[in-house]
Amino acid sequence: MSIKAINGTASNGKNPLISLVIPVYNEEDSLPSLFGELWPVMEALKRPFEIIFVNDGSKDSSFALLYDFYLSHQQNVRLIDFNGNFGQHMAIMAAFSNVHGDYIITLDADLQNPPSEIPKLIAEMDKGHDVVGTKRANRHDPIYRKVASKIVNKVTNSITGLKINDYGCMLRGYSRRIVDIIANTGETTTFIPALGQKYAVNPTEIEVAHRERAHGTSKYSLFRLIRLNFDLMTSFSLSPLQWVTMSGMIISFLSFILVAYMFIRRFVIGSEADGLFTLMTIQFFLTGISIMSLGIIGEYIGRIYKQVQKRPRFVIKKIWEDQDEQQA
Ligand code: UDP
Ligand code: MG
């Protein structure tokens, strides 16, 4: 039976089914501790649950570890195996297209957000919140990332009009309605927490614990982080483009006044040749703005290019699931 056919058969709401979604990319060092910490928490919920792991093209032994865990927990575990590395957000997207639950919770595999925080999110969802956003209390990451995130959080909120205090915290809760909306957006690159917030009717935000990465290293290089943030900003707003237009208009207006002044000055005082370096500085500054503006326009064109290519956002090699359990 195909997964699609049983989508929509979420339980009747009295005892909501919990779907926990975990993207995994080269996490062989973290997975054994994750399994050990996660399982008791899920069992203690005393609710029906499924865990969906998405192997995002890991090159280490992550798949083998996930597959073993799946084999020994088939009733509650499903495993989506990607054809290659499509990124954390696409891994979550793939799981969102295949969830069965009423409450969907996303968690990173590296245990930076402890699984013991999951019940807190469920309690908020029980109160009727359709999106439970989170903020990392005492974030344990390198200082450069914390400073960069502070700036990104502020800038992104002002550009997108969203109100999210911590875009990067991925331990979050979404109702099935929100997840279905997110899964049906056709964007090739996106940012899941921002999509959730955009479509939320009754969102809330809570603090969750954060720890240092105990095993392995971050899967985001500086370049990947910058790319991800460009995706975030260009997916949710056109205002960077509007700034380019506005600053072009303001600079043109000021230059026009300067030209008029120089023209009159030439007749009244005569020509001038001083101030060469001032002129060069202004010119460098304007060249910088021009190149940046081209880059901003390029970001949007790049998104359009990806979108018109209509390539699949992710390619699933195989979904491992217990057929008997799924059909029951
Ligand atoms: N991840 C993924 N695909 C990627 C990069 C990361 O599935 O291309 C997963 C990774 O295995 C982890 C989560 O996304 O479960 C967050 O990654 P990481 O902890 O490296 O990010 P950070 O905490 O440094 O922001
Ligand atoms: Mg992490």
Dig out the tokens for 13 from the structure: 């709401």
110 lines ligand 1 (CB under 6 A): yes
Ligand 1 atom with the shortest distance to the CA of 217 = 20
55 lines ligand 1 (CB under 6 A): no
Give dist(CA 323, CA 328) in Å, integer. Answer: 9
91 lines ligand 1 (CB under 6 A): yes
The residue whose C-alpha atom lies closest to atom 21 belonging to ligand 1 is 218
DSSP codes, 222-233: HHHHHHHHHHHH
Give dist(CA 88, CA 22) in Å, integer. Answer: 9
CA of residue 23 to ligand 1 center, whole Å = 7
For residue 194, CA distances in Å to 155, 163, 169, 243 come to: 14, 9, 11, 21
Give dist(CA 150, CA 157) in Å, integer. Answer: 11
Give dist(CA 235, CA 264) in Å, integer. Answer: 47
87 lines ligand 1 (CB under 6 A): yes
Ligand 1 atom with the shortest distance to the CA of 219 = 20
149 lines ligand 1 (CB under 6 A): no
166 lines ligand 1 (CB under 6 A): no
Instruction: Choose among 126, 103, 116, 124: nearest CA to 39.
Output: 116
Q: Tell me the pLDDT of the chain (328 aa) as tens digits.
A: 333 333 344 555 578 999 999 999 999 999 999 999 999 999 999 999 999 999 999 999 999 999 999 999 999 999 999 999 999 999 999 999 999 999 999 999 999 999 999 999 999 999 999 999 999 999 999 999 999 999 999 999 999 999 999 999 999 999 999 999 999 999 988 999 999 999 999 999 999 999 999 999 999 999 999 999 999 999 999 999 999 999 999 999 999 998 899 889 888 988 777 778 888 888 999 999 999 999 999 999 999 999 999 999 999 999 999 876 554 4
